[in-house]
Amino acid sequence: MSLGKRAIILGGSVAGMCAAGAVADFFDEVLVLERDIIPDDAEHRRGVPQSKHPHFLLNSGRRAMGELFPGYEESLIDAGALHMMPSLAAAHCEGSVWVPRKEAPMTMVYASRLLIERTLRQKLAQVPNVRVEEAVTVAGLECADGGRPDGRVTGVWAVGLDGGREKQLIEADLVVDTLGRGSAVSDWLVAAGWPQAPVQSLDAGVTYVSQWFQKPAELPDSWWWAQMSVMPTADTGPHPIEHDFLCQIFPIEGDRVLVTMGSWGHPMPRKEDEFIETVHKVRAPAFGRAVELCEPISQVFVTKSTGNRRRRYDTLENPPGGLVVVGDAVCGFNPFYAQGMSSASKCAVLLRDKLSTATNVDSTFSKDYFASQRQLLDDIWTLALARDQGYENAEGTDIAPRWRQRLANRVSWPLFNHISATTREDAVVAQHFADVFNLDESVTTMVKSPRVLAGLAWHAVKRATNRTKLPLGSDLRQDPPSDIWRDGERHPAGQALAIPRGTAQEEFATVSVAARG
């Protein structure tokens, strides 16, 4: 079924490629306009500054990409990505302890943003009616009857087609804006006669820094883990600012790791010597010891553009026909929470599903799409703001009242730690938590679940009466223990412990294999 001759995708990053895959079955031609020249080999480029930092490809995101490009996850793993169970493969520090290792319902794929994009690009290249034009700058929109009920976008003005320097008009039946946070599309629509889409925002001043390292060829016995995470302290009294940092040693392809430290409102190291000095101030000494064993292979990369920003096209009474918006161009989240790629790919799947029942892409279609997209994004927006609203330095339209800021700042990490501890002994809470983390369930649904609330309360009672099945954890000043817990019993990591196949753990043959990642 064809809904028109041409669809144009503005931008060729993850959101743009997913959008191209979503619309390909419904238009004779799909033209992707990308400002950068995409290298054959994966490397950083101006249009994707976040590529220098860790990227969690959440379960919902990788499923959505697999719907759009069948076999995507398998191709990503074949290219070097790591498919692991974090509860077994990670040394995780929260509160004042290393938490016990055990099986859990959640698995993850670890890879660099570079590999994620390159694999997606290879899949897109196999779609016959999609054409990517690089080194092209989008200069404006061509519109008709702007602001009226039948108003629509009819084309795109671009510079750089065929290497030329003149601005050219490309007619389109559908335009998808995936130009990211800096998109000028909303301004062009105002100039054409539509009202400005309202903007919601919240910026908590999050800054994070990353450096790439090569892992040592020979790992010490204490390095049994593939990932290490150190959560911010729950201590509200005086303490070093480094104890407020959220820190990750994040594994990627090629036996490399990305070392990342982030904070809310604190200054962060920007030079290599400062970076190494700071990793040794992280509250778990094993973190700094591990980094010291690795060889740095990059400079220190800094990101401060972490505000949450949402353009509310869904509130327009007559949104322009022939236009939808996907990715950061409509809703950009604090990238520290790893929601961007997954929310963009989910919105692309939504677009595909809407197109499959459409007869045209007029204003009515756009209005219906934006309304459905709102429902999808509302849950993710609530989750993103839950933590960022707890800081006095936060700025934007969605600032919480001062009393809520104080409450959130005091209880958010202890509450997170309690939920996390409950998941290790309560399978139902663990599944809800995994679903929320992977954007498969709203946080509102989880916190309103009587079963989840009962599970949290019962675990609090068990902790208070020393009746938990698992130990609360081990001293964070020591190396994280490699022992594995199952059915309330401790098993040495060297002991092969079969994990059933055909379950969420099917990628592992034994725990000992999983432990090494």
For 61-97, what is each residue's pLDDT tens digit? 999 999 999 999 999 999 999 999 999 999 999 988 9
pLDDT band at 512 (very low <50, low <70, confident <90, very high): very low
Cα torsion angle, 382, 384, 385, 387, sign: positive
pLDDT band at 246 (very low <50, low <70, confident <90, very high): very high
Environment class of residue 218 by beta-carbon count within 10 Å: exposed (0-12), middle (13-18) or buried (19+)? exposed
Interatomic CA distance for residues 417 and 431, integer angstroms: 16
Note the pLDDT of residue 43: 59
Tell me the mean pLDDT in the region 299-306: 86
Note the pLDDT of residue 509: 34
User: Among the listed ranges 18-32, 84-98, 367-381, 398-412, which one has the minimum average pLDDT value?
Assistant: 398-412
Interatomic CA distance for residues 32 and 19, integer angstroms: 10
Amino acid at 83: H
Collapsed DSSP state (helix, strand, coil) of residue 143: strand
Note the pLDDT of residue 500: 39
Note the pLDDT of residue 44: 52
Please say whether the beta carbons of 69 and 241 come within 8 A.
no
Note the pLDDT of residue 499: 39
**What mean pLDDT is reported for the chain?**
89
Number of Cβ within 10 Å of residue 492's Cβ equals 10
Q: Give the list of residues 6+ apart from residue 61 with CB closer than 8 angstroms, or none.
A: 341, 342, 343, 345, 346, 439
Is residue 498 predicted with pLDDT exceeding 80?
no
Note the pLDDT of residue 48: 53
Note the pLDDT of residue 407: 77
Domains by residue range for the chain, with CATH: 6-49+115-201+306-385 (3.50.50.60)
Number of H helices, E strands in the chain: 15, 26
Q: What are phi and psi of 407, to 5 degrees?
A: -65, -45
The per-residue b/e assignment along 31-56, b for 16 or more CB within 10 angstroms, e otherwise, is bbbbbeebeeebebbebbebbbbbbb
- Identify the helix (H) or strand (E) that includes residue 123: helix 113-124
Is residue 41 predicted with pLDDT exceeding 90?
no
Could you report the per-residue pLDDT of 324-381, keeping only the tens digit for each?
999 999 999 987 777 889 999 999 999 999 999 999 999 999 999 999 999 999 989 9
